[in-house]
Amino acid sequence: KNRLFLVCALVETAVDNKALSSRLGIKPSAPLRLATDDIFDTVLQIPKGSVNPFVMAQASCNEVTLLLDDQFLACERLLFHPMRSDFTSALAPGQLTRFLEAAAPGRFAYVDFASAEPLALPGAGQATPASQAGQKPAAAPAPAPRKAAGSAAGGDW
């Protein structure tokens, strides 16, 4: 109750708030909903339209859990607004993961939004049937990134 989740997904990824609420163990009577203006001002400390994973570095976001689309890991580059909607930053998935490991350790997970399995989140103390069976859970720490075959991208990632 009263947990804050920030969801970042590809434009083409469908995110069903009711289904995600159920997977998180949230009661149907109080499903996930969009943040209020107060949350944008006091917790995220950014204007609407500028929400991005970089907010996780702020001390005010220490109680926020970031749910990232696991499809991000298949992308060569990810584009985010760096706290302002008039600028854009490009990162490889591995760079984003390293940033979050440093800025928000234990407060983010890559999630398969198409799955129906319950989510075991960092610090949530829940186990999923998949993790109990030794399979990959529906929300898992990021695997080491791989450069796409034939990629011309440079850099150490």
3-state SS, residue 68: strand
For the segment 70-112, what is each residue's pLDDT rounded down to a tens digit?
999 999 999 998 877 788 999 999 999 999 999 999 999 999 9
Query: Model confidence at 1, in pLDDT bands (50, 70, 90)?
Result: low
Q: What are all long-range contacts of 18-25, with beta carbons under 8 Å and residues at least 24 apart?
A: 19/116, 20/67, 20/113, 23/115, 23/116, 23/117, 23/118, 23/119, 23/138, 24/118, 24/119, 24/121, 25/118, 25/126
pLDDT band at 21 (very low <50, low <70, confident <90, very high): very high
The CATH code of domain 4-140 reads: 3.90.960.10
Decide which of 19 and 34 is more confident.
19
Q: Where are the domains of the chain?
A: 4-140
CA torsion, ordered 48, 77, 3, 105, to nearest 10 deg: -130
Task: Please determine, for residue 49, whether its predicted confidence score (pLDDT) is greater than 70.
Answer: yes
pLDDT beyond 60 at 135: no
